[in-house]
């Protein structure tokens, strides 16, 4: 809905528009500021950061800090930059997103089109699993990963992210398939199509939007995760976010703010690119994550 300010005089209406645009631009400025500062800091040499103004544009922008953050910055005793951790994150995110999305789609299909007594309870239990504080499963998970030999490995993190992402992916697909007409399923059944054929031929071809939403949601969440990474893979197998935190909070040597910010940019770029390219789906995923689809 929109309220047109029709009943007031043109003068005060113009003043009101002025205030509205002013406020919006002010907020936009504030929201962009930290990112802007992060970006310009990453492009400045250290001397300019120390002597100059935080908001000033770099006098001669250089990607030296980016190169250092990527390839030679020291994280702990290892001085080969964040590139290894970046690839760790990629290796973790891709399988975890794929597996949890496929399982979520199948679960959503069963929970809407092949209902059985107790399907509500099963769904409720999976849904509640989305919201538990992960602190309540941290200690047993660390033990189990140790016992099955997956502590400090990317495979271990994939397992963790699949398990704790299942609730969300199931929720997304369930809500989407709920609106899918049952008549089509019934007609296909009468024609002799089985469980998987109906899924493959009828539901999947029309699931494009929800697959995109789920993949983006899972990608963002898993890429940005820190708690599981720091708890279960803090060594060489650590994901990007953990490496970034180790780099920034290390207190040895000269504090290289430009390198810190460049590393933060590397951690931020994948999800930002996804957001810029597919923002509409990103928002839809966030909204669906607040349960109401």
Partner 1 sequence: MTLTVDAVEPVRRKAGVLDRVRDILPKIVLAPSFALILFFVYGFILWTLYLSFTNSRILPIYEIVGFDAYINLWSQPNWYMALKNLAIFGTLYIGLCIAIGLLLAILLDQKIRGEGVLRPIFLYPMALSFVVTGTAWKWFLNPGLGLERTMQQWGFENFQFDWLTSTDMAIYCVVIAGVWQASGFVMAMFLAGLRGIDGEIIKAAQIDGASSFSIYRRIVIPLLRPAFLSAVIVLAHMAIKSYDLVIALTGGGPGNATELPSTFMYSYTFTRSQMAVGSASAIMMLMGITAIIVPYLYSELREPAR
Q: What x-and-dash track marks residues 259-288 binding partner 1 by CB under 8 A?
A: -xx--x--xx--xx-xxx--x--xx--xx-
Q: Which stretch binds partner 1 (CB under 8 A): 2-10, 58-66, 71-79, 203-211?
A: 2-10
57 binds partner 1, rule: CB under 8 A? no
Which residues 226-255 are close enough to bind partner 1 by CB under 8 A? 226-227, 230-231, 241, 244-245, 248-249
Shortest distance (Å) from residue 208 CB to partner 1: 21
Which residues 111-140 are close enough to bind partner 1 by CB under 8 A? 111, 114, 116, 120, 122-129, 131-140
2 binds partner 1, rule: CB under 8 A? yes
Shortest distance (Å) from residue 157 CB to partner 1: 14
Query: Is 164:134 a contact under the CB 8 Å cutoff?
Result: yes
Give how many residues touch partner 1 by CB under 8 A. Answer: 101
Tokens of 157: 């993190």
Shortest distance (Å) from residue 166 CB to partner 1: 5
67 binds partner 1, rule: CB under 8 A? no
Q: What x-and-dash track marks residues 77-116 binding partner 1 by CB under 8 A?
A: --------------------------x--xx-xxx--x-x
Which residues 11-30 are close enough to bind partner 1 by CB under 8 A? 17, 20-21, 23-24, 27-28, 30
9 binds partner 1, rule: CB under 8 A? no
170 binds partner 1, rule: CB under 8 A? yes
Tokens of 101: 């999305």
200 binds partner 1, rule: CB under 8 A? no
């Amino acid at each position: 809905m929109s309220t047109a300010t029709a009943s007031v005089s043109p003068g005060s209406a113009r003043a009101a528009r002025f205030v509205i645009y002013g406020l919006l631009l002010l907020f936009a400025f504030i929201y962009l500021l930290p990112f802007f500062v992060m970006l310009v800091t990453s492009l400045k040499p250290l001397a300019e950061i120390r002597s100059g103004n935080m908001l000033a544009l770099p006098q001669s922008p250089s990607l030296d800090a980016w190169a250092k953050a990527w390839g030679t910055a020291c994280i702990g005793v290892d001085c080969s930059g964040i590139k290894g951790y970046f690839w760790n994150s990629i290796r973790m995110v891709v399988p975890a997103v794929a597996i949890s999305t496929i399982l979520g789609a199948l679960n959503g299909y069963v929970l809407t089109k092949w209902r059985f007594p107790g399907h509500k309870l099963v769904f409720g239990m999976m849904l509640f699993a989305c919201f538990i504080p992960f602190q309540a499963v941290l200690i047993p998970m660390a033990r189990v990963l140790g016992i099955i030999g997956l502590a400090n490995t990317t495979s271990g993190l994939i397992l963790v992210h699949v398990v704790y992402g299942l609730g969300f992916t199931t929720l997304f697909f369930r809500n989407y398939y709920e609106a899918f007409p049952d008549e089509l399923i019934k007609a296909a059944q009468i024609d002799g199509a089985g469980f998987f054929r109906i899924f493959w031929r009828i539901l999947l071809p029309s699931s494009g939007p929800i697959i995109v939403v789920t993949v983006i949601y899972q990608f963002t969440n898993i890429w940005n995760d820190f708690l599981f990474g720091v708890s279960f893979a803090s060594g060489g197998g650590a994901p990007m976010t953990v490496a970034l935190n180790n780099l920034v909070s290390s207190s040895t040597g000269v504090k290289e703010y430009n390198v810190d910010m460049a590393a933060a940019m590397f951690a931020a770029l994948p999800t930002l690119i996804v957001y810029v390219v597919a923002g509409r789906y990103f928002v839809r995923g966030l909204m669906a994550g607040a349960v109401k689809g």
